[in-house]
Chains A and B, each alone.
Chain A
């Protein structure tokens, strides 16, 4: 009871004000990415309302904002183009189910394999996607559009110098809408982009045939969306954790995202997830509790449903200005300023993630590529931590090798080549007490060394296998099992 009160009511005034500021930043993203996904703005707006209000109750990170996002929208494009809106809604439901399963399986722990460089790349790619989504509204337009966007940016960044009491995006949108109507500017408005919500959301199930074929169509999309949604949500949660210096429940967040997406699919909305930019806006504006997320959703609904006629008059260029702000605020500029001073591997991993995302419009593929490259770099680095020294002993009858460091797939070759097999000697002693054999490749390499020496007629003695290495050797090695040695020799 105590924490329930703490989550909801300890910060009421600031939560409500922050919710208002966030709602204004949700509208342009929902509209812009509905258009990218090829559906009416109302699909994105209903989704944003529904996800924000549901996640306020079900989420594991109070103060984080979730709604219809660009990251998810770019994944839906072909599904909508080829099969239509109903299949998108079905895919949204399935996404939610997959996310709930991921939460139960506690897959959030896999986030630890996503390094800082990949996270930075993800964030930057996201900012670029958001910016690119604005380009259709910018390229080949009249000078009036550019003037409105420029004026919008000036107001957004300039107005806070006058007062920080009210959200500057609100001022921007209101002033620019008035100006556009007053001067009768011939520019595109929100109303021109498609249907806006005209009523409160109603419950409806997607009209798709319930068969295997449908599943085959939507499953690939749902799986990708579930993964991207959870990735962005986990990253955003980590960011909000850092900003507010308070812990969150990642598992609950996974399940919560799933429930929110199912709810969204049931009211005709598209899938969404947590939003980095809007969450930063929320925390910056003083939002901390669940009330901030809930109020963002409710303000959004009030604005688009009850002020719909006015919303339809908003020039798209004003929303573009707001989205450019979100894009700038999301991008991690330090990773560019410090591109040269950061470690090369860091910058490379970051850039690969960005490039793959921008090329494929799929954040999941970008993260996968980034994680793979990080793995390569890491294996390479740790593979360097290997030293093999030797010394002749017992008046030239014996050579004693000592191995220090990590032996595994990336360093096995170096390990083998460090031994001098052509040396004519009675005994070889390999001291591995300060080495660790990690995998089958390493164990096989040790076997190979032992067998090669034996073939030269040299006695081999391996000493000091530490416990972990010893188990590996016991389970996989053949050199101390005479029958198996035959098998290995046969390969040569």
Chain B
């Protein structure tokens, strides 16, 4: 076991859990890394479950109530734990069926972001659903946690969408900046992309050295034995990337994430968030 190289699949009890499990299993088998499923339990003290509306208080009302409420909480926690355990075991079976050796499972109490930061030590790749339990009912495309989490975690994150399809063609949204160049290095050295064509797409405002940058990236990838077709398409990055992905039948988007400060993205919007929102395919975010 190599705990320092694990893939952490963060799941909640939404429809995404299955796809998260599938992609995590795919990455784990390709990278030969151990896989762990993490389920976070969050208690909600602001919600009551009592159905006693009698409003009558008698002898030792306070003590009785305290005992009663802590027993309820205890039972609830135990239920949530048991339910989560069964849920995790189902995902575990799913990963085993997909060929992962001995995936591990873990449940933790706490808030999502904080828990993940605490767990980040020794994680090589996070896999999480683009939308979580809370977002399922809303119109928003991007689970509200994703940006916060991507910023807090300094590890690659695979944000999956609905449905699983084994990636056959990946694409890098390449802008020649330091974050993406570092990303290309990571791709070249990672077993995840062995035997997988990785397209290099450059779009947006054209820089003078674009062709040179693109050449560098292709050489770097080809040296690692990765087939790397390149394309230089001027135009609005969001639209170009979407169209290219569709035309070329790309099923995994790779990009550098949140190079700018949170303040800047609040004021001017963040390219990462825009792309994440518009991309219909799983996205690997590199930090």
A residues apposed to B, CB below 8 Å: 6-7, 10-11, 14, 17-18, 20-22, 24-25, 62, 156-157, 159-160, 164-170, 239, 242-246, 276-277, 280-281, 283-289, 325-326, 328-330, 332-334
Contact = CB atoms under 8 A, between A and B. Distances in A.
Contacts of A21: 53-55
Nearest to B48: A286
B69 A243 contact: yes
Contact of A281 (B57, B59, B66, B69): B57
A328 B64 CA distance: 13
A166 B62 CA distance: 20
A245 to B, nearest CB: 5
Contacts of B70: 245
A164 B46 contact: no
Contacts of A157: 56, 58
Contacts of A6: 46
B48 A167 contact: no
A17 B46 contact: no
A11 B48 CA distance: 7
A167 B44 contact: no
B247 interface: no
A11 B57 contact: no
Interface residues of B, number: 25
B61 A284 contact: yes
Contacts of A246: 45-46
A392 to B, nearest CB: 58
B69 A164 contact: no
B61 A164 contact: no
Contacts of A245: 45, 69-70, 73
Given A11-B48, A14-B50, A160-B52, A284 B57 contact: yes
Nearest to A166: B53
Contacts of B48: 11, 14, 18, 283, 286-288
A288 B47 CA distance: 6
B59 A167 contact: no
B52 A328 contact: no
Contacts of B236: none
A283 B65 CA distance: 9
B60 A333 contact: yes
Given A7-B46, A242-B66, A244-B69, A333 B59 contact: yes
A22 B48 CA distance: 16
A62 B60 contact: no
Nearest to A9: B46
5 closest A-B pairs by beta carbon, nearest first, are: A329-B57, A21-B55, A160-B54, A167-B55, A329-B61
A325 B56 contact: yes
A148 B28 CA distance: 75
B63 interface: yes
27 contacts: A10-B46, A18-B48, A20-B53, A21-B54, A164-B51, A169-B55, A243-B65, A243-B69, A244-B45, A244-B69, A281-B55, A281-B57, A283-B65, A284-B50, A284-B57, A285-B54, A285-B55, A286-B50, A287-B48, A288-B47, A289-B46, A326-B57, A328-B58, A329-B59, A329-B62, A332-B62, A334-B60
B53 A288 contact: no
Given A14-B50, A21-B53, A288-B46, A325 B60 contact: no
Interface string B2-46: 000000000000000000000000000000000000000000111
Contacts of A288: 45-48
Describe B's contact surface by its main secondary structure: loop
Contacts of A169: 55-56
B214 to A, nearest CB: 43
Interface string B149-174: 00000000000000000000000000
A329 B65 CA distance: 11
Contacts of A25: 55
A325 B58 CA distance: 6
Given A17-B53, A281-B56, A289-B46, 15 more contacts: A10-B44, A14-B50, A24-B55, A160-B52, A167-B54, A168-B54, A170-B55, A244-B69, A277-B61, A280-B65, A287-B48, A325-B58, A329-B57, A330-B61, A333-B60
Nearest to A287: B48
Interface in B51-89: 51-63, 65-66, 69-70, 73
Contacts of B73: 245
Nearest to A241: B45
Contacts of B46: 6-7, 10-11, 62, 246, 288-289
A159 B58 CA distance: 13
Nearest to A283: B65
A284 B69 CA distance: 9
Nearest to B45: A246
Question: Which of A17, A25, A166 has the most chain B CB atoms inside 10 A of its CB?
Answer: A17
Contacts of A332: 60, 62
Nearest to A288: B48
A167 B60 contact: no
Contacts of A286: 48-53
Interface in B185-208: none
Nearest to B51: A164
Given A7-B46, A10-B44, A246-B46, A168 B65 contact: no
Question: Which of B45, B48, B66 has the most chain A CB atoms inside 10 A of its CB?
Answer: B48
Contact of B56 (A10, A17, A156): A156
Contacts of A165: 51, 53
B19 to A, nearest CB: 27
Given A10-B44, A10-B47, A289-B46, A243 B66 contact: yes
B57 A164 contact: no
A32 B58 CA distance: 20
B67 to A, nearest CB: 10
